[in-house]
Amino acid sequence: MVVVGAGLAGAHTAARLRERGWAGPVTLVGAETHPPYDRPPLSKELLLGTAERADLDVDFAALGVELALGRTATGLRVDARVLETDAGPVPYDHLVLATGAGPVTLPGTGELARVHTLRTLDDARRLRPVLAAGGSVVAVGAGWIGAEVATAARASGCRVTVVEAGHQPLAGALPAEVTAPMRRWYADAGAELRTGSPVTAVREGEVELADGTVVGADAVLVGVGSRPATGWLAGSGVALAADGSVAADAALRASAPGVWAVGDCASYPAARYGGRRLLIHHWDNAMTGPATVAAGILGDEAVHDPVPYFWSEQFGRYVAHAGLRGPSDALLWRGDPGDPGWTALWLGEGGALKAFLAVDRPRDLSQGRRLLERGAALDPGRAADPSVPLKAAAR
């Protein structure tokens, strides 16, 4: 058993296999030299210097899992069942692809010392001294990572400018009417948010915008998305989807015999959404997929079909989103978005709950996820009243 990718999905796949009774050898191959760690702290405690590590709470030695760290996957020979790495070939009987995703970078920035991405422990450690010194930071992209880094930078006393090509924060994730209240979060925190500001050039220590404005910075954080780390699979025979993800089936099997895929590098057909293929780059998906893979490898029927869920901490708020909304779903406010806590609901035909965004509303989060799991419909009048428990609005 070989698992390639020692992030959250890969590490938990190795652990789930042992828990379900896999008795043979298990090798976990990882490109980084660090033991497997969690990624959410990278933009929080690790970036602020309040923690040095975020190692996973998994005793790999006790589980009998061999860690082959500092080895990068370079190719795959599916007929011979051999994983090629920069440290030599690794034969396998079963292979789990869990290589995650890599950050999208801006052209010409690869050699610039003061331009950063935030995906690894080493990335966080390189950026941390700038925050510790109270330097200036420009975040390119007002998405989840841009907001979280801006939060940490302001907490460290840095001057922060966030530039976004779209006309709103979280432009690719949420509609404008829902993100409108978030503009105040940046202002209240003392961070400057510039939307509708495409970047035309990034140089050492400065960012140039389309209107000719040049913003200087001690560090530039590029947070404009990520893509599956699957380039090394080119020509292997493992089918990839149009977005570059491994095109897994509902059990997370890849197209090649004995090969499975899980986490940020894998897409799958979601039964609850009519078989729509989903690629989800979030922590919860990396946590739930390993159980499906382990069950399937050991001969049990299993289907990966969770309700998509992710969360973020920004500017002192806990923001969580669950579900998948459609273009015809109706937005229903639960509470005033000017209040400290509020929730946006999306309802489909017959009041069916399709998705929600909860801001500092933990009960809405927990109850809403359960309602989504069972496909519940809500009474709009009761659901709009924040004093009524969300579960009590179910029909």
Q: Report the pLDDT value the prediction gives residue 53, as an integer from 0 to 100.
A: 87
Q: Are 364 and 374 in contact (CB under 8 A)?
A: no
Look at residues 31, 165, 150, 192 and name the one whose alpha carbon lies nearest to residue 106: 165
Mean pLDDT value of segment 285-289: 97
Whether pLDDT at 382 is above 90: yes
Backbone angles phi, psi at 312, to 5 degrees: -150, 150
Report CA torsion sign: 13, 320, 44, 116: positive
Task: Give the position of tokens 């994983």.
Answer: 83
Residue 27 domain flag:
yes
- The answer to whether residues 85 and 164 belong to one domain is no
- The answer to whether residues 90 and 236 belong to one domain is yes
- The answer to whether residues 135 and 188 belong to one domain is yes
Residues 6 or more apart whose CB falls under 8 angstroms from that of 218 comprise 114, 130, 133, 135, 136, 137, 205
Q: Report the pLDDT value the prediction gives residue 63, as an integer from 0 to 100.
A: 97
Whether pLDDT at 165 is above 90: yes
Tens digit of pLDDT for each residue in 180-218?
999 999 999 999 999 999 999 999 999 999 999 999 999
- The answer to whether residues 99 and 234 belong to one domain is yes
Backbone angles phi, psi at 394, to 5 degrees: -70, 140
Mean pLDDT value of segment 79-94: 98
Residue 143 to residue 327: CA distance in whole angstroms: 21
Other C-beta atoms closer than 10 Å to the C-beta of 340 total 11
Tens digit of pLDDT for each residue in 110-145?
899 999 999 999 999 999 999 999 999 999 999 999
- The answer to whether residues 253 and 202 belong to one domain is no
Q: Report the pLDDT value the prediction gives residue 242, as an integer from 0 to 100.
A: 97
First to last CA, the chain: 47
Q: Report the pLDDT value the prediction gives residue 61, as an integer from 0 to 100.
A: 97
Task: Give the position of tokens 């080493």.
Answer: 122
Q: How far, CA to CA in Å, does 21 sit from each of 17, 117, 340?
A: 6, 39, 47
Residue 218 domain flag:
yes
Look at residues 40, 38, 81 and name the one whose alpha carbon lies nearest to residue 313: 40
pLDDT band, residue 15 (cuts 50/70/90): very high
Q: Report the pLDDT value the prediction gives residue 389, as an integer from 0 to 100.
A: 98
Task: Give the position of tokens 């001294």.
Answer: 129
The CATH number given to whatever domain includes residue 352 is: 3.30.390.30
Residue 288 domain flag:
yes
Q: Which helix (H) or strand (E) holds 27?
A: strand 26-30
Task: Supply the mean pLDDT for the chain.
Answer: 97
Residue 302 domain flag:
no
Q: How far, CA to CA in Å, does 113 sit from each of 107, 130, 175, 221, 334?
A: 14, 12, 35, 11, 45
Domain boundary among 222, 256, 281: 222
Other C-beta atoms closer than 10 Å to the C-beta of 285 total 23
- The answer to whether residues 217 and 286 belong to one domain is no
Q: Are 265 and 272 in contact (CB under 8 A)?
A: no
- The answer to whether residues 44 and 90 belong to one domain is yes
Residue 304 domain flag:
no
Q: Are 126 and 116 in contact (CB under 8 A)?
A: yes
Domain boundary among 222, 238, 261: 222
- The answer to whether residues 238 and 263 belong to one domain is yes
Mean pLDDT value of segment 354-375: 98
Residue 341 domain flag:
yes
Residue 203 to residue 180: CA distance in whole angstroms: 31
- The answer to whether residues 218 and 233 belong to one domain is no
Mean pLDDT value of segment 259-287: 97
Residue range of the domain that includes 122: 115-222
Can you list the alpha helix ranges (DSSP code H) found in the chain? 8-19, 45-48, 60-63, 121-132, 144-155, 176-179, 182-189, 283-297, 362-373, 380-383
Can you list the alpha helix ranges (DSSP code H) found in 257-388? 283-297, 362-373, 380-383
Residue 308 domain flag:
no
- The answer to whether residues 264 and 120 belong to one domain is no
Tens digit of pLDDT for each residue in 28-73?
999 999 999 999 999 999 999 999 989 999 999 999 999 999 999 9
Residue 82 to residue 112: CA distance in whole angstroms: 36
- The answer to whether residues 184 and 262 belong to one domain is no
Residue 311 domain flag:
no
Mean pLDDT value of segment 80-96: 98
Structural domain count of the chain: 3
Residue 142 to residue 111: CA distance in whole angstroms: 23
Q: What dihedral do alpha carbons 291, 296, 300, 301 form, nearest 10°? A: 90
pLDDT band, residue 172 (cuts 50/70/90): confident
- The answer to whether residues 217 and 230 belong to one domain is no
Q: What is the residue-wise DSSP string for 173-204?
A: TS-HHHHTTHHHHHHHHT-EEE-S--EEEEET
Tens digit of pLDDT for each residue in 220-270?
999 999 999 999 999 999 999 999 999 999 999 999 999 999 999 999 999
The CATH number given to whatever domain includes residue 197 is: 3.50.50.60
Domain boundary among 243, 267, 297: 297
Whether pLDDT at 160 is above 90: yes
